Structures are given as C-alpha cells and as structure tokens.
Amino acid sequence: MAETGESTARPISPHLSVYRPLINMVMSILHRLTGAALYVGTLLLAAWLIAAASGEAQFARINGVFAHPLGKLVLFGYTWVLLHHMLGGVRHLVWDTGRGFSIAQVNALSWLTIIGSVLLTLALWMVGLTLRGAL
Amino acid sequence: MVGYRTPLARVRGLGSAKSGTDHFWKQRLTAVANLILISFAIYLVVRLAGADYPIVKKTLARPQNAIPLLLLILSGVIHMRLGMQNIIEDYVHAEGYKVAALLLNSFFTALVGLVCAYAVLKLSFGA
C-alpha cells in the first residue's frame, strides 16, 4: 500500500531517555564510566612510577602536583572511581555464580556498591591523612 | 535446531567470532587478580603517601613490593584492554574507526604497561 505522504506515528523502540533511572541501571552505567576513567587514570600511576624511577627532583615535582588542592581533588576522585569499579566488579562476580538476581537482591547489591564505595573512600583518606599526622 | 555446523565447529564451540569465552574468561581472571593486587597497591600507596624519596625508593625496590606491582601492571593492562575493547565495539560502528580504535587501544595499553614495568624494574635494579 502506498503512503499518503503523511507521516505515520510508528512505534519506536524504547531507549535510555524514556526510562526512569533505576539504581541498578545507574550502577551499570557508572561501572562502565569508572572503568573508562581508570583507563585514563592509569597515567597518574605511570607518572608517579616514572618520577620515582627518575630521581629525587622529578619525584618532588610530581608530589608537588599531587599535593596541590586540585591534584588532591583528582586523587580523591581517583580513589572513589577505583573503589567503585572494584565493588561493582565484585557484584558482577557474584552474578557470575548465578546468584543475586532477584529484584530485591539486585537493588541491595547496587546500593551496597555506591554506599560502600563512598564509605571506603572516606575511610581510606582518613587513614592516609591520620598516618601523615594531617588529621 | 538443524545442524548445519560441522562436528568440528560444534566441538570447538568457538562461535562466529572464533574466540569463544576467551574475552569473558580473561576479563574475570584479571578482575580477581586485580582485586588482590589493587588491595596491596592501595596499602602500599597509603603507607608511602608523603614519605621521603629515599624511603619510597627503597620500599618500591624491595622484591616483595616490586613483584606484586609488576603482576598488577600486567593484570591491570590486560583488564584495561579488554574493557576498552568492549566499549569500542559497543559504540564505534564504522569499520575503519573501529579497527583504528582497537589498534590504538592495544598500543596504548602495551605502552602504559611497559613504561610502568620499566620504572619498577629500574627502581629494583638501582635507579
């Protein structure tokens, strides 16, 4: 049958924008984003190791960058990103065993990931700062 | 399902991409390794945060620290490469760009891994 020229409202496939964000969906997206961020963030570790291997002057320079408020903010963010991706990974390993797939369990695991990563990040920085006598 | 596949293909079970569960398995293998090795690295970094250069140098040069670090670098870059490959294959559909991105992914992870390993070895053998 030929089209009359008027556009027909056809059903379209539902996509991201039509869904209300659910916690497991947000954690899934965050897992990918934190993974990609860590990919780039590895350059921080590389820079630190290169500086340490290059001598005292270079090491002092990189420590200066990391000690700057902006540097600290990046490192703090890096810590959270790392821990969030780690906990998200543990959640995936649990799922790999075939467990934790009920809606209640999926939601609980998702909340554990986000709350756990924030608490662990704060705890780590408190330990680190206390060891340095800065807290 | 009508069996159009050869008995050999069924036995190998590698599917159309010819690599079977290889990607999945290596992602999990390195994930478990990273869990252990990253935990150690976090401990090391927290302990060394703000420490003087001679102490950092001496600590990183010790084999009980250098070897886990080298293992982490190896496991880490393999995990990074597999993960980024997933992202590229999900979002980059134009064949040329996709192949270029996959190539760059391999080059980048190999370079980062070797640079880090070189630094650790240099510290170990007397930087």
Q: Is the residue at A1 inside a domain? A: no
Q: Which of B44, B91, B115, B121 is most worth mutating to test chain A (most A CB atoms within 10 A of its CB)?
A: B115
Q: Burial-class residue A28 by CB neighbours within 10 Å (0-12, 13-18, 19+).
A: middle
Amino acid identity of residue A38, one-letter, is L
Query: For residue B28, which residues of chain A lie inside 8 Å, CB to CB?
Result: 93, 96
Q: Is the residue at A11 inside a domain? A: no
Query: Is the CB of residue B116 less than 8 Å from the CB of residue A45?
Result: yes
The answer to whether A93 contacts chain B (CB < 8 Å) is yes
SS3 B11: helix
Q: Is the residue at A58 inside a domain? A: yes
Tokens linked to B96: 């040329």
Alpha-carbon gap, residue A27 to A110, rounded angstroms: 6
The complex scores an ipTM of 0.91
Q: Is the residue at A47 inside a domain? A: yes
Alpha-carbon gap, residue A17 to A15, rounded angstroms: 6
Q: Is the residue at A115 inside a domain? A: yes
Q: Is the residue at A103 inside a domain? A: yes
Give the number of other CB atoms < 10 A from CB of residue A51. 22
Tokens linked to A112: 């554990």
Residue A60 belongs to domain spanning: 23-131
CATH code, domain carrying A52: 1.20.1300.10
Query: For residue A64, which residues of chain B lie inside 8 Å, CB to CB?
Result: none
Q: Which of B30, B39, B46, B112 is most worth mutating to test chain A (most A CB atoms within 10 A of its CB)?
A: B46
Domains delineated in chain B: 23-124 (1.20.1300.10)
In the 8-state DSSP scheme, what is residue A32?
Answer: H
Q: Is the residue at A7 inside a domain? A: no
Structural domain total, chain A: 1
Query: For residue B122, which residues of chain A lie inside 8 Å, CB to CB?
Result: 53
Cβ–Cβ gap A131/B47 under 8 Å: yes
Q: What is the pLDDT of residues B11-66, one digit of tens each?
A: 888 988 888 899 999 999 999 999 999 999 999 999 998 889 999 999 999 999 99
Q: Is the residue at A9 inside a domain? A: no
Tokens linked to B102: 């996959």
Phi/psi region, residue A15 (left: phi>0; alpha: psi -120 to 50; beta: rest), is beta
Q: What is the pLDDT of residues A77-130, one digit of tens each?
A: 999 999 999 999 999 999 999 999 999 999 999 999 999 999 999 999 999 999
